């Protein structure tokens, strides 16, 4: 007689076989509602930001390196010799034209002036006596009261006395000028540098060393250099009509200082050098800037943005829209009329603020993709959201 344990052992293989059979049936007949094909859905259309091309007028300019230079420079030198007894100006300060800078001891020159004045008075008195005598002789000779020879001698003496008085007047004027030159004044207004002499120093007339230098800093010059190749390129685009020339009175110049800050005043282009420097192959341009606060000092390094012309119907695109391949060729992605992404090769001229100036490849109305470039590939469909590129600075720059 079999026990319960033996009966359980005999039934176990049949139970395992039944379970395996049920599992195989479940794999063989899956539920149709859980099919992968039924769960497959269409991928969402990506959204990209686009910039619509609108042609506009752009001022073409070049950014050139240069240095500032004083508007006027005057070296102060003595015109008479003597001991300096006074120096009333402050070094590094502002002086006005005609202001006394040095006072040379005038005692010797005052004495010379007084002597010349007395000599003139004496000779003028002698001239008066001779003139009266000549007048009497001229009357007496008509009645033969005096000889003709005596009359001629008196007339000659009168002319000699007149010449002596003229010489005395010239000597007096020379003494007056020397006396005035003991007061050394500023020939121009501006900022004066350090003095090379002090009170008590001996100076000589027309000495080679200047006593001080005065520089007029308002306005101030900015001298920049432009390569002759750039000048030729500018003349070529002006001649073929790509760029319209600016009126000389409206050509403005901006300035960037050494620390990268923008100078608060705008200058004007004064002239361009007529020759090319053989050692550097460059042409010098000079601009004039107001300098009321004295912020610009002679010799400072600056970068000037010189306006050269106006490009009409210029095409600008944001810089982030541009792509370059391994060969450096530029292209952009656009959204065509069918809302599909398309690659468009472009020819770039230069930067205009935070945008690129396009020479060829785009036209008015093209929609350039500027945002979401990583979401799409050529041929994909996309939804468009209009973006703005920001305002350009209005001047195309060439570095």
* Direct distance between the N- and C-terminal alpha carbons of the chain, in angstroms, rounded to an integer: 109
The DSSP code sequence of 31-57 is: -GGG-HHHH--PPPPPEEEEEE---EE
User: What structural domains and CATH numbers belong to the chain?
Assistant: 48-58+313-396 (2.40.420.20), 61-71+217-311 (2.40.30.170), 74-213 (2.40.50.100)
pLDDT in tens, 101-110: 999 999 999 9
> Taking the CB of residue 283, how many other CB atoms lie within 10 A of it?
18
DSSP-derived 3-state class of residue 157: helix
Query: How remote is the C-alpha of 187 from its chain's centroid?
Result: 28
Spatial distance between the Cα atoms of 382 and 63, rounded to a whole number of angstroms: 40
Residue 29, token pair as written in the block: 């007949």
Q: Which helix (H) or strand (E) holds 241?
A: none
DSSP bridge pairs for 282: 227
pLDDT in tens, 323-345: 888 888 899 999 888 888 999 99
Q: Which of 350, 309, 301 is nearest to 330 (CA)?
A: 350
Apex CA 197: angle with CA 69 and CA 182, to 5°?
95
Spatial distance between the Cα atoms of 225 and 66, rounded to a whole number of angstroms: 6
pLDDT in tens, 205-253: 989 999 999 999 999 999 988 887 777 776 676 666 656 666 654 568 8
Residue-level pLDDT at 278: 77
pTM listed for this prediction: 0.65
């Amino acid at each position: 007689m079999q026990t319960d344990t033996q009966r359980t052992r005999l039934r176990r293989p049949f139970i395992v076989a039944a379970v395996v059979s049920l599992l195989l049936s479940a794999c063989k007949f899956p539920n149709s509602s859980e099919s992968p094909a039924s769960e497959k859905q269409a991928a969402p259309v990506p959204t990209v930001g686009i910039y619509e091309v609108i042609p506009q007028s752009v001022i073409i300019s070049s950014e050139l390196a240069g240095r500032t230079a004083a508007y006027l420079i005057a070296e102060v030198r003595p015109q008479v010799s003597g001991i300096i007894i006074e120096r009333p100006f402050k070094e590094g300060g502002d002086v006005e034209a005609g202001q006394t800078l040095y006072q040379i001891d005038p005692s010797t020159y005052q004495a010379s002036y007084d002597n010349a004045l007395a000599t003139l008075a004496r000779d003028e008195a002698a001239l008066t006596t001779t003139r009266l005598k000549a007048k009497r002789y001229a009357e007496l000779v008509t009645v033969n009261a005096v000889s003709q020879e005596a009359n001629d001698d008196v007339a000659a003496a009168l002319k000699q006395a007149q010449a002596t008085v003229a010489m005395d007047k010239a000597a007096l004027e020379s003494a007056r000028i020397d006396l005035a030159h003991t007061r050394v004044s500023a020939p121009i207004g501006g900022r004066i540098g350090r003095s090379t002499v002090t009170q008590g120093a001996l100076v000589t007339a027309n000495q080679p060393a200047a006593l001080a230098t005065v520089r007029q800093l308002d306005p101030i010059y900015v001298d920049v250099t432009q390569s002759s190749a750039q000048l030729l390129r500018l003349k070529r685009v002006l001649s073929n009509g790509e760029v319209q020339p600016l009126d000389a009175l409206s050509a403005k110049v901006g300035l960037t200082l050494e620390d990268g800050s923008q100078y608060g005043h705008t200058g004007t282009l004064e002239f361009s050098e007529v020759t090319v420097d053989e050692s550097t192959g460059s042409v010098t341009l000079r601009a004039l800037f107001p300098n009321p606060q004295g912020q610009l000092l002679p010799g400072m390094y600056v970068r000037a943005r010189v306006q050269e012309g106006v490009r009409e119907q210029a095409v600008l695109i944001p810089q982030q829209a541009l792509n370059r391949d391994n060969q450096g060729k530029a292209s952009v992605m656009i959204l065509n009329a069918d809302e599909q992404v398309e690659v468009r090769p472009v020819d770039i001229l230069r930067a205009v603020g935070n945008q690129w100036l396009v020479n060829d490849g785009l036209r008015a109305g093209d929609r350039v993709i500027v945002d979401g470039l990583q979401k799409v590939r050529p041929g994909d469909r996309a939804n468009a959201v209009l973006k703005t590129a920001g305002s350009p600075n209005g001047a195309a720059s060439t570095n």
